[in-house]
Amino acid sequence: MTVKNMEKIAVITVNYNGKEDTLEFLESLKKLETKNCKVRTIVVDNASNDGSVSAIHKAFPKVDVLQAGANLGFAGGYNKGLEYAQIWGADYFLLINNDCLIGDADLLTELVKTLKSDPEIGLVSPKIYFAKGFEFHKDKYKEQDLGKVIWYAGGKFDWDNIGSLHRGIDEVDSGQYDEVEEAEIFSGACVLIKKEVLEKVGLLDEKYFLYFEDSDLAKRAKMAGFKIYYNGKTSVYHKVSRSTGLGSKITDYYHARNRLIFGLQYGRFRTKFALLREAVKLFIFGRPAQRLGVLDYYLGIIGGKTDFMELSNNIEYPLKLSIGIVNYNTADLTKKLLQSIFKKDSGYDAEKMEVIVLDNGLLDSCKEEIKEFLPKVKYLQNSENEGFSKGYNKTIKFSLGEYYLMLNSDIEVLERALSELVRVEDEFKGEVALGGKLVFPDLSNQDSAFYLPTITGALKEYFLAQPGSYFMYQPSGEKPVKVEGVAMACLLIPKKIIKKVGLLDEGTFIFFEDIEYARRLKEHSIPAYFVPKARFIHYHGGSTKRIGQEKATEHLVKAAKHYHGMFYYTLLTFVLRLGQKFGRVETPVTKWKTTAMSP
């Protein structure tokens, strides 16, 4: 198998205040045999406050540490990692708890072999031992048997009592479960999933947060026609219940609630009746967290419960800034942009920043043009052009920085522009969105800010001769100034703001993304600032011109209708046409706002 065609395997784990376990797990990964595949290790951090991120990044700089920004639980955390790995193009996904340890170098080889043996096999788990010293009944075993006690060797689902049953649990391994065979369940502690499963049935269901999300995925996979397998020829070790603790409030709550969610969705009628009867009993006589779990089920409360979370006020990121670039038929411009980023005077810091380039379709791929910048640039490729928002959303999901900077491919970075944006954002403590100052190639000013488009603004611009009321404008002064919106050709957004406001609207192919996002920022009371000292050359229209004028106009009209709604779009169009015919000012047709903000 050539390097180019090597299968990609993503090893994904979730960390939540488990620094020591995660570091030990990552160290154990060094044992894996990976010469016949490409492996990418992804640690999703669920907003730990124990210094996990900095410790992991320092000890394992090649590991991708993805900050979730909040405690998303097992399901949400793994979904973050799965999305990241899907964008990378993984063929297989190894979900493995951070309290596991690798003992067998051939783990990946064996599990992949099982999945390849039958196209219907979609998921496979290895044999799982209790890590030495973590056995439930360690005192009953001989010293030489510790580390050989089985926790999982395949199993089945007990539909009468709604729970997974592990075969071989608490038995000392003597080779009795060394076969490779079909199983009813897999273990969420360690499972290899092939991409076709996720493409067909989707990711983990985040309503569970913790417990039963693996049972739910197993059920959906089997309903979709996939088989689940157990491979007893390979194994891992598991520090059982290291994350939540046996009999803890967390275990009581999520097990009680999620058992009802799962059982009442998939169980037989008789089982559902028994569950409801047991729920009443548990609500009256159960422990406090169990009673709360039952109550929340009936109240329809799903996902994570903040009562059981230790909130972090100091969320760490492995990098300060991620720069996202989407290329579509602009290989020459993308190369110029990268050259400007990596100049010594741009403010780029290789230890604290990263650059992501997405080829949005195979037409005029920029990969060959930018090969001198690989692999220090994270390169992604779509098979077809998915549009502006979808493309940049992929780079956001694939980014690791605390701040995300969106740059059009027709941008060039000028002196200290990157460090200036970061400096200003730090001064605002990551609470604002920032736009740089755009200039033409001759360094003359280019309009970079705007007010949200309204009929009132159009009347002021056209009939009252108040420039900047509707069309874009250039704020004056040398200090950062608050504006309603900034051009998305150069927009810096902290991740915590993206978490509040969301990703770009994918309802349009191109145009109106910056206006729509500015409106959402305003709705969330998040300020936007124009930063005049952070200057960027903008080859105005360099990207959009290459899709053709007719196609661009078609996308523009669709985007305008999507943003404004049909009624307001029609009314605004009428006002604009009146303004163009009878207005007191003549707006240059070369203004970007004429094409990007007018319907």
- For 179, the 3-state DSSP assignment is coil
The C-alpha atoms of residue 492 and residue 426 are separated, in whole angstroms, by: 12
Residues 587 and 472: beta-carbon distance below 8 Å: no
Specify if 596 maps to a domain.
no
Instruction: Judge whether 569 lies within some domain.
Output: no
Residue 31's Cα: distance from chain center in Å? 28
Closest CA to 171 of 133, 214, 125, 128: 128
Sign of the C-alpha dihedral, residues 467, 473, 476, 481? Answer: positive
Structure-token match 């219940």, residue found:
241
Residue 121 resides in a domain: yes
The residue type found at 198 is L
End residue of a domain, out of 238, 261, 282:
238
* Cα distance between residue 449 and residue 153, in whole Å: 61
On whether both 225 and 357 belong to a single domain, the answer is: no
Distance, CA of 243 to CA of 401 (rounded, Å): 26
Check: CB of residue 539 under 8 Å from CB of residue 410: yes
CA distances from 54 to 172, 234, 309, 507 (A): 39, 32, 21, 37
Q: Are residue 406 and residue 516 in the same domain, yes or no? A: yes
The pTM assigned to this predicted structure is: 0.90
Q: Is the separation of the CB atoms in 72 and 95 below 8 Å?
A: no
2 in any annotated domain:
no
- The verdict on 401 and 429 lying in the same domain is yes
SS3 assignment for 321-360: EEEEEEECCCHHHHHHHHHHHCCHHHCCCCCCEEEEEEEE
Longest Cα separation, the chain:
95
Domain boundary pick from 209, 238, 267: 238
- How far apart CA 106 and CA 310 sit, in angstroms, is 38
Q: Which among 494, 524, 481, 527 is positioned nearest to 426, based on CA atoms?
A: 494
pLDDT at 553: 67
∠ CA 100-204-270 to the nearest 5 degrees?
A: 105
- Shared domain for 361 and 258, answered yes or no, is no
Same domain as 413, residue 282: no
Domain shared by 499 and 534, yes or no: yes
Residue 40: the pLDDT is 98
Q: Which residues, at least 6 apart from 266, have a Cβ–Cβ distance to it below 8 Å?
A: 219
Compute the distance between CA of residue 453 and CA of residue 472 in angstroms, rounded to an integer: 10
Cis peptide before 375 (omega within 30 of 0): yes
The answer to whether residue 218 is domain-embedded is yes
**Using CA atoms, how far apart are residues 482 and 107, in angstroms rounded to an integer?**
55
Which of 511, 533, 534, 515 is CA-nearest to residue 523?
A: 515
Residue 571 lies in a domain: no
101 and 169 assigned to the same domain: yes
Q: How many CB atoms lie within 10 A of CB 1?
A: 8
Q: Is residue 563 part of a domain?
A: no
Give me the torsion for CA of 217, 218, 223, 226, rounded to 10°. Answer: 110
Q: Which residues of 186-215 are buried (b: 16+ CB within 10 A; e: fewer)?
A: bbbbbbbbbbebbeebebbbbbbbbbbbbb
- Asked whether residue 271 falls in the same domain as residue 406, the answer is no
| Helix or strand run (H / E) with residue 341 | helix 331-341
Total domains, the chain:
3
Q: Angle, to 10 degrees, between the axis of helix 249-266 and the axis of helix 269-285?
A: 150
* Predicted pLDDT of residue 423: 98
Owning domain of residue 108 = 7-238
Res 588: pLDDT? 41
Let me know whether 256 and 169 are in one domain: no
Name, in order, each residue with C-beta under 8 angstroms of 281's C-beta and a sequence gap of 6 or more: none
Q: 56 with 203, same domain?
A: yes
**Exposed/middle/buried for 35, CB within 10 Å: 0-12, 13-18, 19+?**
exposed
Q: Residue 507 falls within a domain, yes or no?
A: yes
Q: Do 291 and 370 sit in the same domain of this protein?
A: no
Structure-token match 């290329």, residue found:
327
Look at the chain and count its residues: 599
Q: Residues near 172 by Cβ (< 8 Å), separated by ≥ 6?
A: 141, 145, 148, 149, 150
- The CA-based angle 354-359-360, given to 5 degrees, is 125
Instruction: Give the number of other Cβ atoms within 10 Å of residue 553's Cβ.
Output: 12
Q: Do 537 and 412 touch, CB atoms closer than 8 A?
A: yes
Q: Provide the 3-class DSSP secondary structure of residue 433.
A: strand
Quick one: how far is CA 451 from the chain centroid?
30
Regions in the chain scoring below 70 on pLDDT: 1-4, 241-247, 465, 468-470, 541-560, 562-563, 568-569, 572, 575, 582-599
Give yes or no: residues 293 and 349 share one domain: no
Q: Return the CATH number at 163.
A: 3.90.550.60
Amino acid in position 586: E
| Residue appearing with tokens 């690798």 | 102
Contact 334, 409 (CB under 8 A): yes
Contact 202, 220 (CB under 8 A): yes
Chain-centroid distance, C-alpha 217: 19
CATH code at position 539: 3.90.550.10
Q: Which residues of 427-453 are buried (b: 16+ CB within 10 A; e: fewer)?
A: eeeeebbbbbbbbeeeeeebbbbbbeb
Give dist(CA 44, CA 401) in Å, integer: 13
Q: Do the Cβ atoms of 218 and 108 come closer than 8 Å?
A: no
| Structural domain ending residue among the three candidates 308, 335, 358 | 308
Q: How many CB atoms lie within 10 A of CB 283?
A: 17
Q: Distances from the Cα of 557 to the Cαs of 210, 213, 543, 563, in angstroms?
A: 45, 43, 18, 10
- Do 413 and 336 touch, CB atoms closer than 8 A? no
